[in-house]
Structure 1
Amino acid sequence: MVSRRSFVINASMAAATVCLIPSFAFTFNKKTIGLQLYTLRDELPKDVKGTLEKVAEAGYTEVELYGFSIKDKFWGLSAQELKKLLDANGLKAVSGHYGLGTYLSDGNTTELEVAIKAAKVLNSEYITVPWLDESLRKSADDYKRIASLLNKAGEMCKEAGLKLAYHNHDFEFKKYNGVTGYEILLKETDKNLVYFEMDLYWMAYSKNDPIELFKQNEGRFTMWHVKDMDKNNATLNAEIGSGSIDFKSIFAEAKRSGMKYLFVEQETNYKSNAIESIKTSCRFIEKELI
């Protein structure tokens, strides 16, 4: 498992990585590979303790949370209880996907404030907006309004010692008078308050080149979702390295991107079971990408 390798092995392999992929050097800590826990959404709520143990055994050292609510917290666990389980398995919740209640529709900050408190307990770095409801994104003006709300949330996070990030799907690339929603979000948000978590699968699915976005917006994509696309059916995922996405060329531009953290995610099409799939993906990233 990556976190248990000796210092000597880590040092020599890190040096090799610097030589082979210079643009990746000094950006990403080789010892850390993250997992978006939504990948294990069927397993996790039934057995949080056992599932987190398996995540650590599979080679992961960081996770991204999902599913928080004021009522149910994290699958029935408080932030303090979850932090103890993460610590026991050598895992850190660097980021979490938080729905934020009605904040993006009416500006109510109640759930955002609770999310900030939870993220602080977990010693997280990012609160990440995972999704925009269709009703909130019907025009360019809608995206400008969302950008303004993201800036305000980013300021609240910054005051708490956190960062705010936005995670994309494919719908952000719909054009409004020749400009995509994603372009509006990038332009209208303050780069010192709002960061971006790029989902590489959705970039490929929407036929957008992540490297071009890196060039146009250097340093803004501090997190990635590394999720592969099935070679025969673009609507399905695949274990990293078994699909159609050219990750090597993308990883070569990691420094330009600003990427600090990556999270494996797989939502569909597990070849055997979810645990075995995340092991396969982790091994490929270790061997071929970093």
Structure 2
Amino acid sequence: MTKQAKPGSRARRELPAPLAQLLERGTTDHYTDPLLYDFEYRDQADDVEWYCALAEERAVGRTVLELGAGSGRVAIPLASEGHRVLALDRMEPMLAQLFTKLERLAAAGEPVSGTVEPVLADMMDLPLDDASVGLVIAPFNCLMHLYDWRELLACFREVFRVLEPGGTFAFDVLLPDLEWLRWDPNERHAVTPFVHPRTGEAMIYSTNHEYDPETQICHIRIYYDRDEAGDGQLKPGREPEQTVHLAHRQIYPDELRALLGIAGFELESQTGDFLDLSLSADIEVQAVICTKPRS
């Protein structure tokens, strides 16, 4: 099933053991239950339309590499439009879910017209030949799992290497929200009752987070509580059924521009919310398009 297997644990620069363990959890916890992950992001669609339009413009007849492809939320629509997609991820459960979806589509008589090929690998070490793909995309904050500028630059250099001359690199990451980052780390937010898609249990979703300005990493905690009373309310003092850690490094606009330039890219656009808007305090997402020079 996989193009090239890679170890699941990422080798990092020397870090204190507690932080290294926290970052490993922050890179994996959220992606071990693909059914729950898909349920939580079932309404995410703006980025899919943006990447599909970009592929239609720049990748017809060329290979598309998706970094952090996960369970195929973007890869499958791209393949449905006829593209050849290399779906790279470091989490086997997510790639397995991607192929379960493809099998279901085929069984329903709706196979994709293109192809999806899984690549189990790390985005800082791409198992691909030089100048072998025409478009690389990195949707939905996957680059925020690169936890310092060295890792981000290593990824950018790998993308530059595998892109054809004239090829395009497009990605999106959150625009840091300084007010949100300073919220009380002990108060739970986004309290939402839901029915677990795998177990059928009544649950309550909530989150809080803590931001480390030195590392620029936001440590997000996602809580899943049983809704035993059926009222959608958290009960004080009760331990959650499960706590998931998600680590996202905040990446500031000028840092992106600098590292892309060092890697050799030419920046084409850096706009907001997939709507070609200027970056401002009202923007949530940075959508970036850059190209590899032809010579």
Q: Settle same-fold status: TM greater than 0.5.
A: no
More helix by percentage: 1
Larger Rg: 2
